[in-house]
Structure 1
Amino acid sequence: MDKHPENGFFKRLLLFSVQRMKAFSQLWSLQTLADLPDRLRNLWQELIGSYWFIPTACVIAGILLAPLLVTVDQHFDRETVREISFAFTGDDDAARAIMTAIAGAVLGVAGTTFSITIAVLSMASSQFGPRLLRNFLTDTPNQFVLGAFIGTFSYSLLVLKSIHKYDVAFGVPQLAVTFGIIMAIICALLLVYFVQHMVHSIQASHVIQNASNDAINNIHYWYGDYCDIQHQRDVEQHDVEQFHQWQATPIYPPQSGYLQHIYLESLIILTQEYGGVVHLQSNLGDYVTDKNVIGHFYQRPTDHPNNRQKTATPQLAVVPRAPDGMFWQRFAGCIRIEQRLAHSNDIAYSLGQMTEIAVRALSPGINDPKTAVNCVQSLTSCLSIMMRRQPPSPYHFYVPAEHRDKPPYTATPKQVVAQQRVAILALVTYTPKISEFINTSLGEIRRYAAADAMVLKALCQAMVNLNYACINQAQQQTLLHELQLIERAGEENLSYQELIDDLVAMCEQAKQFILDEDAQHQHFNYVSEFAANFRQALQSQSS
């Protein structure tokens, strides 16, 4: 036994501290720096999503600008200031009165704008849904207007403090007071702009357009312009088909909540350290508990050839190992789970905003099918872009540094010699198909609009419009299946037989148009039976 037990305690505490510091250094270098652009972008989105960031920045700018201009005033020629026609040249009492009036006015207007913002948020929450509140909170003009008022108030207080009564020569900061007057005029103009902007921002068409732009940005983030040929060659390797036969360890999330972000580069580095493949079966936006199995870690066999190629030194072989405590600690930093569903790069979340607007518009309390039709049209535009672009691949590979910058082919005068590329399967993620996006967006609207002929016909027209962007037979079959569901919803829920016949006729014409091989070069124009008979009657009378 140790004769000095307190020394043993301190030794154990010191050893534990050193181990934790080493673990923290590994955690920081491997998890944070690997996906630094994505992490900074997510941090910036959080700051923009908070209503305090831009106003706080404006207050800090006002606090820094006030002593700066006062210092410039003390070293500036007063005669030159008097030659400026719009500059303030009054005494200390006039300066104090002006700055006091400006500070009181802008603070009162700031309270008014804050009250208007709260009223708009309350109305938007009831009419468009709580998921759309972030679009109003992250509205940069609203934040900047409030920040300009509060920043001018802070600036006026500090300038007012620097005005001295018994030091007329240097106690009246004329340039600082002049700048305060200019800021007051700008704040008055910003108040007019704020009212006009708020009236425009609560319009349904404007809200839908903002949600559509957000969805399009996320689509361009995930979907590529062209097919990566080299990546397709990497997918053809045998590990893609055989990794499910390796020894598997279930992966549990560190906590319950919504899966917000997946840092791919960090996960790829983690899998190479342990010699395996991580297969995530949960998608962004899914709710998971700490007991859910969100994926598996497949450990490579000991005799696998990639075990000797995953390090910077090819001859150095690292034996694959099972996940340990450090693995789970680092894995917790590779994903981000939040207790509430927030904005992210998830396409389904962006499309769900427009879907929620349409569903609320179809509720009996609002009863606005025109807004639902606008949502259907915006969703059609987003889905059409997705169908024309290259979907993201679920397979992610680790490529050593010496192979990343090499071109896949080296051209010679006589032949093209292919260079061997080392790409090790490291991560497999869940990638939703276009059929799933159609079902969770337009399909959800169809279920709530089963008794509304206007929206059902708009959905039928949406299938025709999406057909122009079809690139394969599977997408075409998805549209035909959705048309059958639209037709069945109308037959079972519409009130009048005439409406049912009209919808069925439109769906049949749409099916024939989609099945036409040359449909993408033709124009679809639905003509109802009544309109056809009426047109035939007019032609017969004219003849």
Structure 2
Amino acid sequence: MAVSEKPKTPMPTRMLNAFLHGLKQLPQLWSLQTLTDLPDRLKNLWQQLIGSYWFIPTTFVLLGILLAPILVTIDQHFDRKTVRDLSFAFTGDDEAARAIMTSIAGAVLGVAGTTFSITIAVLSMASSQFGPRLLRNFLTDTSNQLVLGAFIGTFSYSLLVLKSIHKHDVAFGVPQLAVTFAIIMAITCALLLVYFIQHMVHAIQASHVIQGASNEAIRNINYWYQDHCDLQHQHNVKAAQSDIEQYQTWVTSPIYAPLSGYLQQIYVESLTTLALDYGGIIKLRSNLGSFVTNKNIIGYFYQRPADHPSLSQKTETSQLAITPSAPDGVFWQRLATCIHIERRSSHSNDIAYSLGQITEIAIRALSPGINDPKTAVNCVQSLTTCLSVMLRREPPSPYHFYTPSSEQTNLDNHPDNKEANATVQPQPVAILSVITKTPTISDFIDTSLGEVRRYAISDLMVLKALCQALTNLSYAQVNDAQKKTLLHELTLIERTGEENLSYSELITDLVAMTQQARDFIESEDAQWHYFEYVGEFAGHIRQELQKGYS
């Protein structure tokens, strides 16, 4: 018996249905509730554009295309006698103008090719010496993009001006102002070429690369860590203590990653709105920069009980009481817009990624092929600077709250709403909505200084630099947990030297320094003293010199 096959829908019809379905879902997915993190989203988009090597040069090309007809039009309405009175203006005929514009166009295009070749050579050397993750720092160098953009922008401008030079038009045959501006741009490009070479010479220096990576890490630290304690946030955490203690007993639904890749951005405000609309708490177990696998669990959604007090509170978005509900299809679609996952690890506000760049430079410097322990010491010093800033500041809190606006709070408490307020129990202002995973300072020390220690097992210079770094960090410690972290890392450095250094004299020297550093960190008044390690032999020499002076 033949089975009748269902007729297939034509491809254009299926594409039209998919497009119409997308339009229906668009208002729900990209509503104001979803785009509460719009400034951060625009900032990330801008960073992606700047990170691409084509954006600024393309902007200059478009600028040259727009500037050429504007200046030619001005030339047609400008007094030619006034132009001849200008000493620097071009006053030649059409043949001279055509020759100049042809020379400028050919020269700047050739120089643009030269600068591009130099850039490729520098990228190749940086990839082998500093690591492939440092390539982005060279590609996003605004100076390089501006120089290349000026060259190809001048080229496009010269071509369009050359097109407007007419031999038989006596009145407006030579756009003198446009040609004069092209000459000025050509001289500027010559100066930019000298600047480009000087800039690239400094850009490939290890100290310059380390400083750039350190500045980026400090910017990310300033983004996450605050100078002072947020008292209002501490009050909200205290008010939501019951939820913090009981949320794991609520109805739980796992949250799956929409695709595989690296977690680059977490839009907390959008997640807060999503959790509030579904009457629960979203807890992410994956940290920023972590690799997640498609359909694997990255967190949980905890649904509040139906009789929870916060569910009766009115919200600014819905103006109605919140009804708890389990995740549905719309929940997963909105969740996909609240997190940003990329196939490759790239620049973001991740502190670990920025510190990892400095660590990678140090590890490559310690490799047998490069063997540059001085560069590794410079990296350790830069890592110390970044970690010291983190120790002195207030770490980010994993708890995020929804706080109604003051207008909505006043509306709910208005005297005219006495009847409505009588049925609503007094609630805390903030509602716990999102819990994120935040790494501790011990995690950052282990993945930065600890990673350098694991590769510098037989280099006394770097191991002693790590000891000095821990004593420098002790000036910024504010609690006992941080002190224990520093002492633990110091013990690992001592053990590494004892098991891997070649000579007993080197081991004795390192052990003596770690012991002095341990005593310094454990002392109560260490912050009021200066630490300087003096070995046994160096101390003996100093005593003999002092005897000679006396």
1:254 pairs with 2:261:
no
State the match for 1:498 in structure 2: 505
Deviation at 1:316, TM superposition (A): 3.6
Structure 1 residue 535 displacement after superposition: 2.0
Residues of 2 paired with 1:314 and 1:451: CA distance?
63
Structure-2-length-normalised TM-score = 0.92
Q: How does 1:1-16 map to 2 (within 5 A)?
A: none
1:125 to 115, 124, 127: 127
Q: In the alignment, is the contact (CA less than 8 A) between 1:449 and 1:455 conserved in 2?
A: yes
Query: Structure 1 residues 12, 209: CA separation in 2 closer, same or farther (over 3 Å shift)?
Result: closer
Q: CA deviation at 1:251?
A: 0.6
Per-residue deviation, residues 4-57 of structure 1 (Å, max 9, x unmatched)? x99xxx999999876643421011114652111000000000000000000000
Q: How many residues align?
A: 524
Task: Return the offset for 1:189.
Answer: 0.3
How far 1:498 sits from its partner (Å)?
0.8
CA distance, structure 1, for counterparts of residue 371 and residue 379 of structure 2: 14
Match of 1:527 in 2: 534
1:320 counterpart = 2:324:
yes
Q: Which amino acid aligns with 1:23?
A: Q
Matches within 5 A, 1:65-464: 65-236=67-238, 237=240, 238-312=242-316, 316-402=320-406, 421-464=428-471
Q: Kindly tell me: are residues 249 and 187 of structure 1, through their superposed partners in 2, closer, same or farther at Cα, counting changes over 3 Å?
A: same
> How big is the shift at 1:422?
1.1
**What letter corresponds to residue 152 of structure 2 in structure 1?**
I
**2:310–2:427 CA contact under 8 A, matched in 1:** no
- Per-residue CA deviations over 1:57-112 (Å, capped at 9, x if unaligned) read 00000000000000000000000000000000000000000000000000000000
Q: Distance in 2 between matches of 1:405 and 1:510?
A: 55
**Contact conserved, 2:34 with 2:273, CA < 8 A, in 1?**
no
2:45 to 40, 43, 46: 43
RMSD (CA atoms): 2.1
Q: Which SS does the other structure have where 1:29 is aligned?
A: coil
Q: Return closer, same or farther for 1:46/1:313 CA change in 2, 3 Å cut-off.
A: closer
Distance 1:356 1:321 in 2: 46
Contact (CA 8 Å) 1:99, 1:156: kept in 2 or not?
yes
Tell me the SS of whatever aligns to 1:164.
coil
State the Cα distance separating 1:403 from its structure 2 match.
6.8
Q: Alpha-carbon deviation of 1:402?
A: 3.0
Contact 1:32 1:39 in 2 (8 A): no
Write the distance in 2 (CA, Å) between the matches of 1:90 and 1:219.
59
Q: CA deviation at 1:520?
A: 0.5
1: CA distance, partners of 2:204 / 2:317: 60
**8 A Cα contact 1:308 1:315, kept in partner:** no
CA separation of 1:424/1:11 partners in 2, compared to 1, >3 Å: closer, same or farther? farther
- Contact kept in structure 2, 1:380 and 1:462, CA below 8 Å: yes
Q: Is the CA contact (8 Å cut-off) linking 2:313 and 2:322 kept in structure 1?
A: no
Partner of 2:521: 514
Contact 1:30 1:266 in 2 (8 A): no
1:409 matched residue in structure 2: none
- Equivalent residues of 2:453, 2:463 under 8 A apart: yes
Residue 462 of structure 1 and its aligned partner are, at CA, apart by 0.1
Equivalent positions of 1:13-32 (< 5 A) are 20-30=22-32
Deviations 1:439-473 (A, max 9, x none): 00000000000100000000000000000000111
Partner AA of 1:210 in structure 2? G
**Over residues 256-300 of structure 1, what are the superposed CA-to-partner deviations in whole Å (9 max), with x where a residue is unaligned?**
111000011110110111100000010011111013211100000
**Kindly tell me: are residues 282 and 70 of structure 1, through their superposed partners in 2, closer, same or farther at Cα, counting changes over 3 Å?**
same
* Cα distance in 2, alignment partners of residues 13 and 200 from structure 1: 53
Gaps of 5+ in 2: 1-6, 411-425
Unaligned runs of 5+ in 1: 407-418
Q: TM-score, normalised by structure 1?
A: 0.93
Residue of structure 2 equivalent to 1:413: none
The residue type equivalent to 1:123 in the other structure is: M
* CA pair 199-510 structure 1, distance change in 2 beyond 3 A: same
Q: 1 CA distance for matches of 2:435 and 2:519? A: 39
Query: In 2, distance between residues paired with 1:191 and 1:291?
Result: 51
